[in-house]
Amino acid sequence: MIKGFEHDGVVEYRGIPFAKPPVGDLRFEPPLDVTAWRKPLRADHWRSACPQSARFHQTDESLDEDCLYLNIALNNSTEKNRPVMVWFYGGAYVGGSANLYRLDWLASHTNAIIVAGNYRVGALGFLSHPDLNPATSSSVGLLDQRKTLDWVKRNISRLGGDPNNITIAGESAGAVSVCLHLASPMNDEHTFAKAIVQSGACLNPLPTQSQLNANGLDFAVRLGCRAHDLACAKRQPIKKILAVQSEMTSQNPYSFIPGVGSAFLPQAPSERFRSGNFVTVPVLNGGNQDEYTLYVGYQVASGQVIDDTHFHSAAEAVYGDHTDAILTEYATDKDYLSLTPQQRLGRLESDYMPPGVLSQCLMLSTAAVLSKYTTVFEYEFTDRNGPPQMTPEPFKLGAVHAGELPYLFPHISHNSRLDGPDLSPESQKLSDVMLRYWGAFMRTGRPQDNGLMDWPSFAQEQFVMDLNPQHLGQRSAYQIHHCDFWNRIYPQYLHH
């Protein structure tokens, strides 16, 4: 028995435990089944996010390892067999929380049951270490996500949900997580029925466990333990864990990410996708026009000068010996030439920057590969007038990474305040359309609804839907982003 609460025609449940608290000896270990409760559970308040440091002067700190809880929102209705979405949050695998999203809004506007569960991030979720069980090392955060899915499969019918019509969805690290669930042999078409990938290219390469193990040994030593003494690491206070983690990720942002070699990911995902050896369910896939411009904004805000004088050296730091060829390629691109130096660097990186997890050309290559085996609906979000994702903006950033989230989850602020600004009237109209497309996809596997512009699959002339208030329709994304050119100079990443 679970007791939630109702408001505005929506029922919400917050803080439902789906696994045993991963504390003490369970630190760094895969999630275990939750102990059943005998009395009615009050699920009317958020529980803690998994431990993480505050980042970008924006996100919240958490120090509570008892964090494996999920939230649910649904319309107050007796309707049965409603579609279900399980949302995986972003946060570069070092941050994020299920509590950051207005699940009630998405539920009320799609008539789907929306579920979001916490998963462990950073070292607690993605430590790779030679003394951990190789079947689960570097993947316990993904196993937390799978545990959420297991809970939903077993229980969602009691709330009117269809356990055979589950869409897994996510943004950024959450989008990459969706990719990894698609690629995992632990899942099949009975685990989930559809997938939504927002700003995370499924063909992005991942390191192996053996490559990541050096980070795990270094982590233990920096904690003051012997390199192979995991028992010591499990005893360290959480503040020390986070301090060492932050120190390491400031030097290498990929210190704690999923690695290839676990039971969840025994083979490189890109290989599995290219061979068709993945969960072949319908996929809604895409990203934002100016994804990487957000990170150029962070560079400028931290004091880096990117002007005409310094532009070539800034580009060379990213592209090395390819820089002159790239600048020659873009010398006749009028849109590119109309931008400021900071915006031009963001434009290049958003078109393609190796290895390219947020780059348009790798997202398009992903669509091309997946569409050989399943139905893919591709989009590009291009509204450059949405709420800023960085305050203050050091220059006009545009449709950057995470820029589409307020169109699905109003007032998202990447912290528990949920005090982001309203959309403009024009952007709100785009939001209304996106919610209808997303809702239709969750119901039927196709983003088609009465009165909406037709959205063909990617296999039909490489169709990409331009999500823009002024232009809702086909976008010539492959040409706009110079993908033929990028394919020639980075074939090791982009071949499809």
Question: What amino acid positions are annotated as catalytic residues?
Answer: 172
Identify the sign of the CA torsion 221, 226, 232, 234: positive
Beta bridge partners of 208: 260
Q: Can you give the three-state secondary structure of 243-254, one letter per residue?
A: HHHHHHHHHCCC
State the amino acid at position 292 in one-letter form. Y
Cis omega (within 30 of 0) for bond into 406: no
Pick the closest to residue 441 from 166, 181, 175 (CA basis): 166
Question: How far from chain centre, in Å, is Cα 199?
Answer: 7
Cα separation values, 283 from 173, 178, 196, 356, Å: 17, 10, 6, 20
DSSP tag of 2: E
Three-state secondary structure call for residue 429: helix
Pairing relationship of beta strands 41-42 and 2-3 according to DSSP bridges: parallel
- Say if residue 330 is exposed, middle or buried (CB neighbours under 10 Å; 0-12, 13-18, 19+): middle
Question: How far apart are the C-alpha atoms of 94 and 180, rounded to whole Å?
Answer: 17
Question: How far apart are the C-alpha atoms of 265 and 427, rounded to whole Å?
Answer: 39
Question: How far apart are the C-alpha atoms of 99 and 417, rounded to whole Å?
Answer: 10
Residue bearing tokens 């002339």: 461
State the amino acid at position 289 in one-letter form. Q
Question: How far apart are the C-alpha atoms of 376 and 92, rounded to whole Å?
Answer: 25
Question: How far apart are the C-alpha atoms of 378 and 457, rounded to whole Å?
Answer: 7
Question: How far apart are the C-alpha atoms of 176 and 91, rounded to whole Å?
Answer: 11
Structure tokens that stand for 299 in this block: 């560079």
Question: How far apart are the C-alpha atoms of 234 and 78, rounded to whole Å?
Answer: 46
Residues counted in the chain? 496
DSSP string, 48-112: PPPSB---TTTSPPB--S---EEEEEEES----SEEEEEEE--STTT---GGGS-HHHHHHHHT-
φ, ψ of residue 227 to 5 degrees: the values are: -55, -35
Question: How far apart are the C-alpha atoms of 407 and 195, rounded to whole Å?
Answer: 19
Cβ-contact 220, 236 below 8 angstroms = no
